[in-house]
Amino acid sequence: MGRKLQFTDVTLRDAHQSLFATRMKTKDMIDIAPVIDKAGFWSVEMWGGATFDACLRFLREDPWERLKILRKLMPNSKLQMLLRGQNLVGYRHYPDDVVKAFVRKAAENGIDVFRVFDALNDLRNVEVAVETAKECGKIVEGAISYTVSPVHTEDLYIELALQYKEMGVDIITIKDMASLLSPERAYSLVKALKEEVGLPVHIHTHCTSGMAEMAQLKAVEAGADIMDVAISPLASDTSHPCAETMAFVFKGFGYDVPLDKDALSKMAKHFKEVRKHYKKYDMDFKGVDAGVLEHQIPGGMMSNLVNQLKEQGALDKLDEVLKEIPRVREDLGYPPLVTPTSQIVGTQAVLNVLSGERYKMITQETKNYVKGLYGKPPAPIKEEIIKKILGEEQPITCRPADLLEPELEQRRKEIGDLARSEEDVLSYCIFPQVAKEFFEWREKVEKGEIPAISEEDLADTMEEENLCPQPL
């Protein structure tokens, strides 16, 4: 038998994040968790990314509770989370004390594999998280945010991977969130990583552009060790290559594929039903998004642009904006177009076109970006742009989080008794407003002041049972 391949199931995290707005509830994971636990995956990604926020904000669930529940139900599995470096599971940089405490609590509650990344690949933004996870004795994946630009050469990626290796990560992940990784680049990049870095390589792709399966196939041919997959009813489209399909394909080529067919089949049956519960959040993605191949603008960014222009009554300027985007991206040092840089670049391009003069109007986010508050861009920002935007102000050169005061103790005091655990305090550090509302809701439920069921659940139940309020 051939070389052994490993698979990470991302059904419980990235699949529903990509397909139906991260809305999957813990109750839809519980029955199937013991089956996933024995399906033969190398790891199960089930936490982090947008799930933390979605739990608190939309589902009225405690994300830490989900972790504890799944930990108990999956004793044989390595549980994996996606960690946005210094952003943790939020959208801004948090101070080091919060980062350290969060990683420790995540490890303590059962995370075995930390996949850490930074949108700009500024590895200063991941180092505290990586160090802390390693101190906890956990497996760390150093993830490279993949993009395409004149400065994103193979050498750059190798350099990043070597820095990650230096930091002590166990695995290098190619994180292709925007579905830009071509099969040809996948092959050459993985080959170079295996030869020049020597760590195991894990591939994370999305199917949006139609290249993901081919990219994974060529990555494996070049020596990739682990790949991310989702179970069939939640695979493809903006999600990930299908678990059953990739298992079948690589078995066909003679690889050793440790996945259990019956378990996958049970998972498929389960999640086919589960997906129906979230119909109203479903992306309704049709066909292939070929736009990303042409101009690297992911579908979500494109619809944001269209909406922005519509609001201004300037939809006829769309072509101009699409031409402006690569110029802004070049000006700003070729950031990958993902959250938050896709919004920064997109909005700035719209302003540049609508105001009639480039960088006449500037958003606070663009200013912060140019100041260096998001980290160091892949290439230097153009001198004249820095001058135009910052004037006399100087960009920072230190690690952005070096400018942040510790927050943990202050937050602990603020939230007081509403927090019942260190985990609650951390939720509050990351999403103060949202977590506080959740805690207050929880208290009211326990006091019997409001029903135990969340508004969300209530709305669903009403829909399901057709309990629409009757006009009297």
Residues in contact with Co ion by CB under 5 A are: 14, 177
237 touching a copy of itself, by CB under 8 A: yes
Nearer to a copy of itself, 183 or 395 (CB): 183
CA dihedral 42, 53, 31, 422 (to 10 degrees): 90
Nearer to a copy of itself, 8 or 179 (CB): 179
232 touching a copy of itself, by CB under 8 A: yes
CB of 204 to Co ion, least distance (A): 6
Q: How far is CA 266 from CA 14, 134, 202, 249, in A?
A: 20, 35, 26, 19
DSSP secondary structure string, 177-203? TTS---HHHHHHHHHHHHHHT-S-EEE
Residue 177 binding partner per list Co ion, a copy of itself, none, with a CB distance cut-off of 5 to 8 Å that depends on partner kind: Co ion
239 touching a copy of itself, by CB under 8 A: yes
Stretch that binds a copy of itself, among 57-65, 236-244, 311-319, 415-423 (CB under 8 A): 236-244
Pick out residues in 287-306 that bind a copy of itself (CB under 8 A). Answer: 287-290, 293-294
**SS3 for 172?**
strand
Nearer to Co ion, 146 or 271 (CB): 146
Phi-psi group of 52: left, alpha or beta (phi > 0 → left; psi -120 to 50 → alpha; rest → beta): alpha
371 touching a copy of itself, by CB under 8 A: no
Task: List the end-to-end C-alpha distance of the chain, in Å, as a whole number.
Answer: 71
CB of 47 to Co ion, least distance (A): 14
Q: Are the beta carbons of 216 and 186 closer than 8 angstroms? A: yes
Cα 338 from chain centroid?
10
Nearer to a copy of itself, 109 or 188 (CB): 188
Q: Which of 81, 128, 217, 370 lies at the binding interface for a copy of itself (CB under 8 A)?
A: 217
Please give the backbone phi and psi of residue 203, each rounded to the nearest 5 degrees, phi first: -110, 130
Residue 237 binding partner per list Co ion, a copy of itself, none, with a CB distance cut-off of 5 to 8 Å that depends on partner kind: a copy of itself
Residue burial 151-185, b: 16+ Cβ < 10 Å; e: rest:
ebeeeebbebbbbbbebebbbbbbbbbbbbbbbeb
**SS3 for 261?**
helix
Residue 14 binding partner per list a copy of itself, Co ion, none, with a CB distance cut-off of 5 to 8 Å that depends on partner kind: Co ion
**Nearest-angstrom CA–CA distance, 360 and 296:** 25
Nearer to a copy of itself, 282 or 443 (CB): 282
Stretch that binds a copy of itself, among 46-54, 73-81, 168-176, 212-220 (CB under 8 A): 212-220
Count of Cβ atoms closer than 10 Å to residue 355 Cβ: 12
Q: Are the beta carbons of 67 and 33 closer than 8 angstroms? A: no
149 touching a copy of itself, by CB under 8 A: no
DSSP class of 316: G
CB of 10 to Co ion, least distance (A): 7
Cα 32 from chain centroid?
23
Residue 432 binding partner per list a copy of itself, Co ion, none, with a CB distance cut-off of 5 to 8 Å that depends on partner kind: none
CB of 258 to a copy of itself, least distance (A): 17
**Nearest-angstrom CA–CA distance, 169 and 147:** 21
Alpha helix stretches (DSSP H) within 222-298: 243-252, 261-277, 291-295
Nearer to Co ion, 105 or 152 (CB): 152
275 touching a copy of itself, by CB under 8 A: yes
Match 């490993």 to its residue by tokens. Answer: 6
Nearer to a copy of itself, 69 or 234 (CB): 234
Nearer to a copy of itself, 291 or 395 (CB): 291
CA dihedral 101, 104, 110, 111 (to 10 degrees): 100
209 touching a copy of itself, by CB under 8 A: yes
CB of 81 to Co ion, least distance (A): 13
Residue 234 binding partner per list Co ion, a copy of itself, none, with a CB distance cut-off of 5 to 8 Å that depends on partner kind: a copy of itself
CB of 320 to a copy of itself, least distance (A): 16
147 touching a copy of itself, by CB under 8 A: no
Q: Are the beta carbons of 290 and 331 closer than 8 angstroms? A: no
Nearer to a copy of itself, 234 or 370 (CB): 234
Residues in contact with a copy of itself by CB under 8 A are 182-185, 209-211, 213-214, 217-218, 232-237, 239, 241-242, 244-246, 248-249, 252-253, 261, 264-265, 268, 272, 275, 282, 286-290, 293-294
